Structure 1
Amino acid sequence: MTTPSTPPTPYQQQAYQQPPAPQQNAQAGSYVSPIPVRRATLGDAIASEWTKIRSVRSTMWTLGILIVLLLVIGVLSAVAVHLSDADLGSTPVLSLGFFGVLLGSICVITLGVMTIASEYGTGMIRTTMTACPSPGRVLGAKAIVFFLLTFVLTTVMTTVVAVLQTAIVDADTPSGADWLRSTVGVGLYIATLGLLSLAIGALIRHSAGAITVMIGVVLLPLVLAIFMFAQSLAKIQEWLLEYSIPNQLSNFYDTSVTESGPSGWEPLWIMVGLTAVAMGGAYLAMSRRDV
């Protein structure tokens, strides 16, 4: 004998209903992100590199020391000349900033190397290449951000130092061409030297090693030339002096130690050529080697 069952109430019928099936895409198992997806561009890579370079301590330290060297050495040189009542003669007053720029170039070299070599040391380069698999885009973004940062900072600081020097020292007023070479020209040369350091860092992939190589590139030719006393080495000595980086940098202040060799804006084009070759090698190395 069966027991008659009580029919469910409307409330129970609603409770027993199955939940609606989730909407499926045309392809089973696929997922569509609610965030719009687009192809990465060079602008995205530049924004990423700008975030990285301004958020690490090494950038603040190296650029801070660069500012101190340019300002302190440049102003102290002008004050020393003013207090000693020394007659500069034909020496341009803007050349008093040369030693500060030469020492400050070490800071730019260091930052250029660490911009890329430090990522190989920490393994961050794997994340960078995963987010942006194009080696050319990564290298180009790093080069653009680093060049603009160092060029603007160096140009502004050399201009400030030049204004202070001309105000402190009683000397002939520099011409417009002198101002352009000692500010914009020096800024372009130092920033390009930093790009060369970045390329060497990408090739060597070791911060200390790349910095050592770049310091040798800057100082070794001049040191070798100083100690070449033999007459048979006179031509080599002259060539090393003419094309050493300190002498090329002094050309922007019209204080070259040699009468021949590159002059005017020629040192900048030499540095641009060397940097272009090094950047090409860095691109090939990043394209063919694993991270």
Structure 2
Amino acid sequence: MQNVVLITGASSGIGKSIGEYLAKHNYKVYGTSRQPKQDEINGIHFLKLDVTNTESVKSAVDILIKKEGRIDFLINNAGVGITGPMEEIPEEEQKNIFETNYFGPLRVINTVLPHMRSNKEGFIINITSIAGHMGLPFRGFYSATKGALELTTEAYRMELKAFNIKMCNVAPGDFATNIATGRYHAPIQKNSPYNEVYEKSLKLMDEHVDHGKDPSLMAKSVHVIMQKSNPKIHYKVGDFTQKISVFLKHILPDKVFEKMLLKHYKL
């Protein structure tokens, strides 16, 4: 019997890579997109789902349950990027990033949980970010949404323990995806006090993504984690420098770590 997997945001990037990899390894994979282009692509069966809309989430999960009767794995991957000075990002965009990156996964989790509970098991993997372990300059709101999801997972795990439902975070570093083209960029304003430094930081961020690792590494890592009977709470996937930065964040004095980030981002 094939395990049934639901992956949000599976039409591109990391979600697509995970979905295609799992489909090749005998999983029944359902991926979501706000506007699916086809019913099935490379083994991923697509459902229309907008994580910012409760009715959309409920409709997609109902369709999946009618087809398969259960959901064994949920991989919360849908998300958007955002860059800009904290002071200059419009309030509407601040709320939108939280609706998508934080409240979105929670909507899907809470819709799926009753079905997993009735099945007496389940495994939920939240794709967060190494950026969620530290406040990064000009990516503050992105860091905040991913950090919030990291902490929320810790609470969920304890609440769900009695129901045999597992949950963990997988935090990727920089991967070569199209997130840079799809994210909200606060415009570089010539009269802004952040003009020069934000422009330099934006170029540096884009370079990191362009030279990021192949998303297939995430797919393989997630597959390994899915097979664990007692998963850790937090996993990190990326190059050594990015993963070690989380470790250093916890052991170094705050100001020493801050100086390292300032040097890294040339601020």
**Normalised TM-score (structure 1):** 0.32
Higher strand share: 2
Higher relative contact order (CA 8 A, sep 6+): 1
Higher helix share: 1
**Normalised TM-score (structure 2):** 0.34
